[in-house]
């Protein structure tokens, strides 16, 4: 049927809106640690801690934004408010970069900019993800594919951002960081313009009604579904969301080293010369999203093929595979540095291979998780539970900053994590191998119980 073979136009509107918002966020992220070290003269340990606190709060704020949307504003208004706040934050970072030589001006502007981005993301992130699911009937089989398409939008923006913002800002001259932040702010304005221009035309449910309205504007029938008391099935499904969120913490805390310790590694220990051209450090953050764009359709086709054969793994099993791929990625980069002498730089291909494996892990975990939360969350808590999912990312990003602080540095004392001595980069990377493999094994042992508690015919 036509209904089952194509997706609503609203999906592509949300795709474009999220693409430009992610361009804004990841353009900022590609420059953030480098800006703190090169322009603001922060040391690596402070930079790592601040980066973790900032990105952690970025993913914690949706807990407030999701609650406000569910109870008062609705998804549409929350997205617009969030977008405006994030644009303001990027422009404040532009001004911080303009006056970076005067710490009394630059640092207050810098912290204010981060604060606006945190608050804006809280309103934007959970609500746009929730609206994807509202375009479809509750049991529509196209939802997993829809979230994969939406996820490709995220990664198209993430791919473009380090290349464009990095080229403008990561030039070796601290005065140029501002142009990267300015470009990120313009990307956020484009996202807002697209959403505001087309939301009333395309953001409709299968019956043709507007989605994402404030609770006071929905019909009595819809309100009755939202206000229905929780059943035992609802409670078990919420528990599953909580359990899987716990495992997600360990995935993202290792994965998000891309913005800190792996950026340090790329800048200091990687041979970045290619045919006489020195690849900017920030560009390596485009590897993950470009791999997502290439391999997301491959994974989607694989799940469809396995489903037709009756052999598709459950969502928790796919997520355990994600942790395994993550661990394999760190094995690769650990092997690259195990026997090298101090001062010797390793080939770019080691880092490229690691990012490919991490991407395969991400595709097994992240879009699957977004789709699953949408399937399991009761209607009255849809945005709030999506925010809980992102709250796991908040804890992970904070933990990522803590772990990045153990990155070994010449002349510093040998760090120790829970008794594990980190004598060099090899031991640092092996820390993530152990963490990923242990949590993957635990999740695999839990999959049958979790699948039963989901109460879904196909999970």
Which range, of 105-114, 115-124, 156-165, averages the lowest pLDDT? 156-165
Largest Cα–Cα distance of the chain, in whole Å? 70
CA dist 228 and 238 (Å) reads 15
Residue 396 to residue 402: CA distance in whole angstroms: 10
Phi/psi of residue 311, each to 5°? Answer: -120, 15
Burial classification of residue 170, based on how many CB atoms lie within 10 Å of its CB (0-12 exposed, 13-18 middle, 19 or more buried): buried
DSSP result, 340-362: PPTTPPBPHHHHHHHHHHHHHHH
- Phi and psi at residue 274, to the nearest 5°: -130, 110
SS3 label, residue 40: coil
CB-based burial label for 339 (10 Å; 0-12, 13-18, 19+): exposed
CA 166, 167, 173, 177 torsion-angle sign: negative
Q: In angstroms, what is the C-alpha Rg of the chain?
A: 22
Predicted confidence at residue 289, as pLDDT, reads: 86
**pTM of the predicted protein model:** 0.77
Query: How does DSSP assign 394-422, residue by residue?
Result: HHHHHHHHHHHTT---TTSPPPEETTEE-
Mean pLDDT of the 64-90 span:
91
pLDDT of residue 223: 61
* DSSP at 258: G
Q: How far apart are the C-alpha atoms of 395 and 246, rounded to whole Å?
A: 9
Which residue has better confidence, 187 or 67? 187
Taking Cα atoms as reference points, which of 368, 361, 295, 291 lies closest to residue 322?
361
Residues near 455 by Cβ (< 8 Å), separated by ≥ 6?
Answer: 233, 236, 237
Which DSSP category does 204 fall into?
A: B
Helix (H, G, I), strand (E, B) or coil at 140: coil
How many CA atoms are closer than 13 Å to the CA of 55, on its beta-carbon side? Answer: 30
- Angle ∠(288,293,297) on CA atoms, nearest 5: 130
In this predicted structure, the answer to whether residue 1 has a pLDDT above a threshold of 50 is: no
Helix, strand, coil share of the chain (percent; to 5): 80, 5, 20
Predicted local confidence at residue 219, as pLDDT:
63
* pLDDT of 2 strictly over 50: no
Burial of 402 (0-12, 13-18, 19+ CB in 10 A): middle
Tell me which residue of 30, 20, 42 sits closest to 177, measured CA to CA. Answer: 30
Report d(CA 269, CA 275) in Å as an integer: 18
Domains assigned to the chain: 2-454 (1.20.1250.20)
Q: Which of 201, 159, 164, 156 is CA-nearest to residue 181?
A: 164
Q: What distance, in Å, lies between the first and last C-alpha atoms of the chain?
A: 23
Mean pLDDT of 250-272: 88
Q: Higher pLDDT residue, 150 or 112?
A: 112
Write the pLDDT tens digit of every residue in 328-343: 999 999 999 888 777 7
Q: Supply 18's token pair.
A: 């999220």
Over range 390-394, report the average pLDDT: 83
Going by pLDDT thresholds of 50, 70 and 90, the confidence category of residue 206 is confident
Half-sphere exposure of 435 (CA within 13 A, CB side): 25
């Amino acid at each position: 049927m036509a209904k089952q073979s194509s997706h609503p136009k609203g999906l592509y509107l949300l795709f474009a809106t999220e693409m430009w918002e992610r361009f804004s966020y990841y353009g900022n992220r590609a420059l953030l640690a480098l800006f703190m070290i090169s322009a603001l003269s922060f040391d690596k340990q402070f930079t790592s801690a601040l980066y973790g606190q900032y990105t952690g709060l970025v993913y914690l704020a949706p807990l407030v934004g999701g609650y406000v949307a569910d109870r008062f504003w609705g998804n549409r208004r929350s997205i617009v408010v969030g977008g405006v706040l994030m644009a303001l934050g990027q422009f404040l970072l532009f001004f911080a970069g303009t006056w970076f030589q005067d710490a009394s001006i630059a640092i207050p502007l810098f912290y204010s900019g981060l604060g606006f981005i945190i608050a804006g993301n809280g309103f934007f992130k959970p609500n746009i993800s929730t609206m994807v699911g509202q375009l479809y009937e509750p049991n529509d089989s196209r939802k997993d594919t829809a979230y994969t398409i939406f996820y490709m939008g995220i990664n198209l923006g993430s791919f473009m951002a380090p290349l464009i913002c990095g080229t403008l800002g990561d030039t070796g001259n601290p005065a140029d960081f501002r142009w990267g932040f300015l470009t990120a702010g313009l990307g956020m304005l484009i996202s807002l313009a697209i959403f505001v221009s087309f939301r009333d035309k395309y953001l409709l449910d299968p019956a043709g009604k507007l989605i994402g309205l404030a609770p006071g504007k929905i019909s009595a029938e819809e309100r009755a579904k939202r206000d229905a008391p929780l059943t035992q099935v609802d409670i078990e499904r919420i528990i599953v969301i909580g359990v899987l969120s716990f495992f997600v913490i360990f995935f993202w805390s290792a994965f998000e080293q891309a913005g800190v310790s792996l950026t340090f590694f790329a800048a200091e220990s990687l041979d970045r010369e290619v045919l006489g051209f020195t690849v900017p450090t920030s560009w390596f953050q485009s590897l993950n999203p470009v791999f997502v764009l290439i391999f997301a359709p491959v994974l989607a086709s694989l799940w469809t093929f396995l489903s037709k054969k009756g052999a598709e793994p459950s969502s928790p099993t796919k997520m355990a595979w994600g942790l395994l791929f993550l661990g394999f990625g760190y094995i690769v980069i650990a092997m690259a540095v195990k026997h090298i002498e101090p001062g010797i730089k390793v080939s770019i291909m080691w880092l490229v291979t690691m990012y490919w494996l991490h991407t395969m892990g991400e595709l097994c975990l992240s879009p699957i998780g977004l789709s699953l939360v949408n399937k399991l969350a009761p209607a009255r808590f849809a945005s709030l539970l999506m925010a809980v999912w992102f709250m796991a990312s908040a804890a992970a990003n904070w933990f990522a900053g803590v772990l990045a602080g153990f990155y070994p540095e010449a002349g510093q004392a040998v760090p120790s994590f829970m008794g594990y001595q980190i004598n060099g980069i090899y031991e640092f990377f092996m820390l993530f191998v152990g963490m990923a493999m242990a949590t993957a094994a635990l999740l695999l042992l839990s999959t049958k119980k979790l699948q039963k508690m989901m109460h879904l015919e196909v999970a």
